Structures are given as structure tokens and as C-alpha cells.
Structure 1
Amino acid sequence: MKVILAGYPKTGTKTLTSAFRSVGYTVYDYEEHFHYHGRKWIKIFQTGATSEDFHEMYKDVDVVSDLPSCYFWEDIAQAFPDAKIILMLRDEEEWCTSLHKQMLALKGFVYTWINLLSPTSLLHLHFQNQMGINCFGGEGIFPWTKVVSRPLLEKLAFRKHNCGVIRNASKDKLLIYSVKEGWEPLCRFLGIEVPDIPFPHENKEGKIAEKIVSSGTSPTFQRVKTEIFLSLTLLVAITGVA
């Protein structure tokens, strides 16, 4: 583990994931956390984990990004004491507005009846709800029927998280950063040359779900589609027999 991105979602996590991958780093972003370690994370949400657990999960990864790893940044840092930490900051009001745009964009993608036919999708809903409870407090921010707006709760969680990182991270290993700054401060902090490519800008207007569907490269989405197809086939067969 080389870098822990401690910034909350909607602070540039997808942009930095793309930036790190473009210069050769192996990154586990939100999807990889769920796809490879979803059940382990649910257990962590409920009972906690040791440094050995986190080391085993991420020993072959260069960078972790987004939830749930950003919330557990300190535990992961204990497992990888040489890792550098980047806290991405953003105006609080802008962040809260962007978070809810993302949640609404994901609503039609995640919360549809057809997902009941996919065990992976049902596991993902459980994963999301446990993550919402742990990382934002209350009863979670990902209920089945609707997206709940709790701006005060979310802003307090955002503020508390950022203050905790600034207070507790080793100052010689911490970069406080905005994606608006581009390559220069990021590469200087990492000790690498600035690449001769434009700095990326991903997930504009919360369009990540549309990109996942259109690209066809998401292993989780492909698994969900396969499970739904098999479930529908089985239902048709059972109906035919009946």
C-alpha cells in the first residue's frame, strides 16, 4: 500500500482513481471494495477488524479510494505504516449537493425490483446500508424505497471526518488537496514526475452509473446481469411447467 485516499466520496475520488491508474498504480475504488471484499466489509461494519485483516485484504494494492476505505483510513494506515495519506477537501455546501445528485443518479440503477432477482445486488444493498449507518450515522442513507436527504447529519459526518484526518494523520505523510490543483502538488507529494497527459475529470454530475452500464467493463454489473438472466429463465421455466 502506497497511498490512502482519505477524502469522502464526491471530493474527487473517481478523478484521483483515474489519475493514479493512468500512471500505473493499482487502485481499489468503491467497486473493487465491494466486488472483492464485500462480505468482509459487512463483517467489519458489524464487528470490526484487525490490522492483519486489512493487510491481508490490501497487501497487493497500491491505492485505496472512496468508501468504505476512506472512513477506515486510520485502521488501514496502521496496517500499512509507510503509506501516504491524501485528504481531498471541497466546499461543504457543494459537497452535500453533489452527494445527493449522486444518490439520485444511482437510485434508478440500484433500487429497482428486478435487482431482487440477483443475490449480488441484494448483498450490495446490505453492504450500502451498513456503510451508510457506519459512515454517516442514523439509520443509513440508502433505504430501499427512496433516497433520504439528511444534509445536517451528512455535513456533520463530513466535517468530523475531515477534522479527524487533519488532527490524527502524520503531518509528514499527509497531503491536503483539491482536484482543482491538478498534477503538480500530487506528483510532488508522491515524488514522481508530472505525466505528459491531461489531468482527468471523472464522474461529472454523478454520471458514473451510466458509464458503468455503457462501458460493459464492470465485473459486478456483469455478474448482476447474469444472475438476473438466470433467475428470469428459471421463473419462465417454472411458470411453463406450472
Structure 2
Amino acid sequence: MRFVSKPQDTYPTGTGPKVIAAGLPRCATSSLQTSFEQHLGYGPCMHFARIAPYAERLRLVRSMALERDKATRQAMLRTLFDVVNSSADFPGMWFIEDLVEMYPDAQIILNKRRSGTEWHKSFMDTIYWFSVPNGVYAWAAWLVETDREQVNLFRVFYSQLPERYGVEDWCPEMMDRHSELVRRVARKHGKEVLEWEPADGYEPICKFLGKDVPAEPFPRTNETADILFIQKFLLVRGLAYWLAALATPVAVFYAVRQLLF
């Protein structure tokens, strides 16, 4: 299951991103990952689906987000990004300033939605459930190491929203503010940016990257229904861990009671 099971890669080890899709999650990042890996020759692609199933990677990304020393942070980033050929979604979009400096030959795609309102609705319907600091998932997940580390990571991201985007919560304005951040970073490094929306399909991407347009239609992956299913799975798994943890002391209590009385 995506975001839960560890991916079984058949790709050769990469040599650093050649293309970075720098837009926010819920801007066709999973579809872009599929495109890069299966149709455009840029696999493997760094994506949160390659982070979420690994507690140690979640801890590493959290340490990166908290690390203020650029040299130290970029050394951490290299452990994840030196071995891929592309990037989309977290954690790449969060560290776009570092990645553009570290991989100056990488081409930048700014994937986005038609409006911040559209992006915000998609985010709130799906990812927000994972990111509420004291929400149901945060409590249910606490006994599962990967889920607990994911909650801890989202808490760090959430705490950095005011500094990064000038907002106190996930909001529609974030998409435009993130887009401007990407444009500003690109201008600083003299980089061209392809601004792209899912409805644009393969043609502008392939023209930008100098690739032939695949015969297959542009993929649609990680739809809302897929994420809602993952939410239910993780919630049930977390509750099962809690039940198992509570069952043992209860069983011991009743066993002792039977012996004593």
C-alpha cells in the first residue's frame, strides 16, 4: 500500500535530481512521480511515499527541517537526494532553496492548482487529517513508530508555517506564497521555471525537458479516495495497537484477581 509499504525499486541508483517538481502536495505530485519514473526516464523519484514507510527517514527529514546550519542540512539532504534522478512532493518542495543550490543543473517545474482555494480544499479533504497536531490520528498513531514519527514531522512543518509563509494555519494563500517562493529561488539562481497544472498534461513538460510525449495518457494517481482509504487503514491499525497494549495489563489484572479471590 502506497505510503505504508516500503517501495520495491527496480531502478538503478540515481545521481541527483535532473528535474524537481517544486509545487505543494496535492498538486499532482504522485502523478508526476509516476510520470518521471515510468514514462520519462527520471526514476527513482524522491516523494513522500519514499519517506512515510521508514521511521528513520521521517526522523531524518524532521532533523533537516530543524537544522539551521546550511552545510549540515545539505549534507543530510544528500543522503536522500544524491541517489534519485527526480523529486516531487515532500520533502523536496520544502527544501527547494537547498536543492536548487545543491543541484544547479536540475530543471524546475512549478506544479500547482488552478487556485489556492482549489488546492486548499484538496489538502483539507486529505492530508490535513494527518497534520492536525492533536487530532484523532495523532493519538491513534502513537504506538506505531512510523505513524508517530510522521505526526512529529508534521508538527515541525506546522510550526514553521508562520516563518515560511506568514500564515498561522494551512490556508488557501499558501499556494500562491509557495509559488512565489519557488519563483524567487529560481530568479536568484538564474533558472527557468515551467509553471504547470495537471490539465496541461504531458506536452509542456516534455517540451521543457526535451523528451518525446509518451503514448500513454498523463496518469491520475493518489486520488482523494485512495488517501481516505489509507486514513481508515492507519486509524484501524493504530487502534489495534492500543487494544493490544491495553489487553495485556487487563488480562494480568483479572488473572491476579482470580488467584487472590
TM-score normalised over the length of structure 1: 0.76
Partner deviation per Cα, 1:101-132 (whole Å, 9 max, x = no partner): 22466589971643232232221111111112
Partner of 1:207: 225
- Cα pair 1:187 1:194 within 8 Å, conserved: yes
- CA distance, structure 2, for counterparts of residue 78 and residue 64 of structure 1: 15
Residues 1:63 and 2:63 aligned together: no
Q: Secondary structure at 2:93's aligned position in 1?
A: coil
- Bigger Rg, structure 1 or 2: 2
The answer on whether the counterparts of 1:55 and 1:80 sit within 8 Å (CA) in structure 2 is no
Matches within 5 A, 1:29-68: 29-36=47-54, 37-48=57-68, 49-68=72-91
**1:154-233 to 2 correspondences below 5 Å:** 154-155=172-173, 157-169=174-186, 170=189, 172-204=191-223, 206-210=224-228, 212=230, 225=237, 232-233=243-244
Q: Which moved more, 1:100-109 or 1:14-23?
A: 100-109
- Asked whether 1:16 is paired with 2:32, we answer yes
Name the CA shift for 1:228/1:194 in 2 (closer, same or farther; >3 Å).
Answer: same
Structure 1 segment 112-151 matched on structure 2, within 5 A: 113-134=139-160, 136-137=161-162, 151=171
Which of 96, 101, 108 is the aligned partner of 1:85? 108
Partner of 2:109, secondary structure, is strand
Give the RMSD, CA atoms, in angstroms: 3.2
Aligned residue pair count: 221
Letter in 1 for 2:178: H
1:72 paired residue number? 95
Structure 2, unpaired ranges of 5+: 1-16, 254-261
SS in 2 for 1:87: strand
Q: Secondary structure at the match of 1:70?
A: helix
Which one has a larger percent helix, Structure 1 or Structure 2?
1
Asked if structure 1 preserves the Cα contact closer than 8 Å seen for 2:126 and 2:227, the reply is: no
TM-score normalised according to structure 2 size: 0.71
AA aligned to 1:207 is A
Q: Which amino acid aligns with 1:75?
A: D
> Would you say the 8 A contact 1:28–1:63 is kept in 2?
yes
Residue 239 of structure 1 aligns to which amino acid in structure 2?
Answer: V
Instruction: State whether residues 55 and 76 of structure 1, in contact with CA within 8 Å, keep that contact through their aligned partners in structure 2.
Output: no
How far apart, in 2, do the equivalents of 1:50 and 1:116 lie? 27
CA distance in 2, matches of 1:74, 1:107: 23
In the alignment, the residues of structure 1 paired with residue 185 and residue 246 of structure 2 have an alpha-carbon distance, to the nearest angstrom, of 53
Aligned runs of 1:1-12 on 2, under 5 Å? Answer: 1-12=17-28
Structure 2 Cα separation of the partners of residues 28 and 57 of structure 1: 8
Name the CA shift for 1:131/1:111 in 2 (closer, same or farther; >3 Å). same
**Is the CA contact 1:52–1:79 (under 8 Å) kept in the aligned structure 2?**
no
Asked if 1 retains the 8 angstrom alpha-carbon contact of 2:130 and 2:138, the reply is no
